[in-house]
Amino acid sequence: MIPYLMVGIGGFFGAIARYLVDRWIGGRMGGLFPYGTLAINVSGSFILGLFAATITERWVVHPHWRLLIGVGFVGAYTTFSTFGYETHQLMEEGSFGLALLNVLLSVAIGLIAVRFGILLGRMG
């Protein structure tokens, strides 16, 4: 029962963080391109990379923390389902260049963010 509670608590806060970040960025950047989703995908990749490296290489943590943060928070915070939907919407609207840009930026910058998170997590 406790593992489900940990995932649920983390998911609650991750979903709220996702909503707040998306509204904040979207309000400043406009709606032509899904900047909020891109920022969430990249920052979520960084957070997961940092957390994973830290708990596997620097600190010993209780497995419940992995569920709370890695599965719950980051799982609810990242938005790859939204990413897929918004990319599809761009294609339906005929904005194939923006759709491709969204895919390339999300994947490439997300991978770079994971790497930086891992490197930061490994720093002593």
- Binding residues, by number, are 75, 78
**Cβ proximity of 89 and 33 under 8 Å:** no
- Determine how many CB atoms are found less than 10 A away from the CB of residue 73: 27
Residue 36: both structure tokens together: 């909020």
Give the 3-state DSSP-derived string for 75-114, with helices as H, strands as E and coil as C.
Answer: HHHCCHHHHHHHHHHHHHCCCHHHHHHHHHHHHHHHHHHH
Instruction: Give CA–CA dist 52/120, Å, rounded.
Output: 11
- Binding residues for Na(+), by number, are 75, 78
